[in-house]
Amino acid sequence: MKYFVLFGPPGAGKGTQAGAMVERYNLCHLSTGELLRAEIAAATPLGLQAKSLIEAGNLVPDSVVEGMIEAKFRDTKGVDGFLLDGFPRTIAQAQALDGMLKKSAQAVTGCVSIMIPDALIHERIAHRANIEGRADDAKPEVVENRIATYHAKTEPLIEYYRQVGKYFEIDGTGTIEKVRERIFATMDKL
């Protein structure tokens, strides 16, 4: 079983690329954003709690996200691995993921990181807000908070995975197809 972490700042193209990655490598796409949006749409207690946090540009508590991920690992059949999108976002979450996988003698295969400059983040998120109607992308102050949160809490994962030889950076600029070629060239080796 392979476990890929899909990494990058908001608007880097993770959601755009994930479908092709899942199809090519027979992976289960675990997007914490999609899992949480489904909870919000269903107006579950978890969804209502998550909605207020997300609307302010904050992260949902680790214990909630970790529980959802572990359940998906346990319950998903017929795949060759998992593509984790939106988890881990912090060192503590990466350590929790390592612990989850260690229970079944597994480990993260690789962290595929799609990187773009901050100026492009703003441009892509504004475009996404208009196209997809995502309220969490519409307010500039929320976008600024998401970028600041990414730099402060998530970027340290680069060094975490680099130290164990599992960090693979992809240039996320250019066409969707060109970025996809770069991703596949890297994943084919893992």
Tell me the catalytic residues. Answer: 14, 89, 128, 134, 146
Sheet strand arrangement including 27-31:
27-31, 81-85, 2-7, 110-115, 167-171
| CA nearest neighbour of 136 among 58, 65, 69, 49 | 58
| CA nearest neighbour of 143 among 122, 129, 127 | 122
E strand or H helix at 40: helix 32-41
Whats the size of the chain, residue-wise? 190
**Token code pair at residue 45:** 């207690």
